[in-house]
Amino acid sequence: DVQLVESGGGLTKPGGSLKLSCAASGFKFGDYEMNWVRQAPGKGLEWISYISATDNRYYADSVKGRFIISRDNARNSLSLQMSSLRVEDTAVYFCAREGTMSTFDSWGQGTLVTVSS
């Protein structure tokens, strides 16, 4: 079975940094495009970053220049380095596998990031 497990969330102050990880198993990780999607408390889903199987990377305007997505195919791992964090970055962060174009066919359980002074 496909499994995605996020980790690394926690409480940090505005301006701080945090690195999220997503451990993948049950599929050939290197063959798939991957994404990060977040959900602020009580709010809807927001796509924030994408990485292709060949390392092309895209970001939503809300995080561009502050977040960096990366992958380690040898370790079946996806990461999101977050810096210059803002209160509005507070959310549950999900990693999601991409099937066909922009279809998020598998999701992790999410990890909560809280940015507060």
Partner 1 sequence: QSALTQPPSASGSPGQSVTISCTGTSTDVDDYKYVSWYQQHPGKAPKLILYEVSKRPSGVPDRFSGSKSGDTASLTVSGLQPDDEADYYCSSYGGINRKLFGGGTRLTVL
Instruction: Single out the residue of 12, 82, 94, 115 in contact with partner 1 (rule: CB under 8 A).
Output: 94
What are the residues facing 67 on neighbouring strands? 82
Q: Are strands 10-12 and 111-115 parallel, antiparallel or unpaired?
A: parallel
Nearer to partner 1, 29 or 50 (CB): 50
Nearer to partner 1, 74 or 101 (CB): 101
Distance of CA 22 to the CA centre of its chain: 8
The span from the CA of 53 to the CA of 111, in Å, is 23
33 binds partner 1 (CB under 8 A): no
- 1, 108 contact by CB (below 8 A): no
Instruction: Single out the residue of 59, 63, 93, 113 in contact with partner 1 (rule: CB under 8 A).
Output: 59
> To the nearest whole angstrom, how small is the minimum distance from the Cβ of residue 74 to partner 1?
26
- 113, 82 contact by CB (below 8 A): yes
Residues at the site binding partner 1, with contacts judged by CB under 8 A: 35, 37, 44-47, 50, 58-59, 94, 99-110
